[in-house]
Amino acid sequence: MEAIRLRKAGIQDVTAIHGLLMANSQKGLLLPRSYNDLYNHLRDFFVLENAGENRIIGCCALGITWKNLAEIRSLVVGESVRRQGWGRRLVEASLSEALTLGIYRVFTLTYQVPFFAGNGFQEVDKEHLPQKVWAECLHCPKYPDCCDEVAMLHEL
C-alpha cells in the first residue's frame, strides 16, 4: 500500500486540485472552482498526496467567511482511497485549523449530507449564513432559485 500524506497545499498542487474539482463537479458532486479562485485561496487547502506516485488524490479547503464563521469546501477524495477515513481526516484538519484561528462555527454547503452529519455537522437553513450568501452565493449560477446544496453547521 502506498504512503498517503495529508499536508497543506503548495503552488505545485494547483493543477492537480483543479483537476480533482472539475472531474467531481462534472459528476454533480460539488461546484467547480476556477484556477483564479484556487490561486487566490491556495492557503485554505489541505491535500492528500500519494507519496509513492507524487500525486494529489484528495483536497479540502477551510475558507474564513466572517470573524466567527468559516466554511469547509471543495472536499474531494479520490475513488481509489474512498471509504478509508481520508475524508474525515481532511475535515478534522480543517476543523483543527479553525480552532487554531479562534473560529468556533464551521459550515458547509454540500450534497454529501450523511458524510457531514457523521462528522458532527447539523442541517441549518441557509438564512443562518448571511455572510456566505451575500459574499459568494450571489455569483453562483445556481443562486437563488436553483441552489440545491444543503447548509450544515458544526459548532466547535
Give per-residue pLDDT as tens, 54-106: 899 999 999 998 888 999 999 999 888 898 999 999 999 999 999 999 999 99
52 pLDDT tier (thresholds 50, 70, 90): confident
**Mean pLDDT on 30-41:** 92
**Which CATH class name applies to 4-155?**
alpha beta
119 Cβ contact list (under 8 Å, min separation 6): 88, 91, 92, 154
| DSSP for residue 144 | T
pLDDT at res. 67: 86
| Domain regions of the chain by residue span | 4-155
**Residue 16: Cβ-neighbour burial (10 angstroms; 0-12, 13-18, 19+):** middle
Distance CA 149, CA 112 (A): 9
Q: Torsion angle of alpha carbons 110, 61, 107, 109, nearest 10°?
A: -20
28 pLDDT tier (thresholds 50, 70, 90): confident
Residue with the bigger pLDDT between 145 and 56: it is 56
- Say if residue 9's pLDDT is above 90: yes
pLDDT at res. 140: 53
Place of cell 485549523: 97
Pick from 29, 10, 9: nearest CA to 74:
29
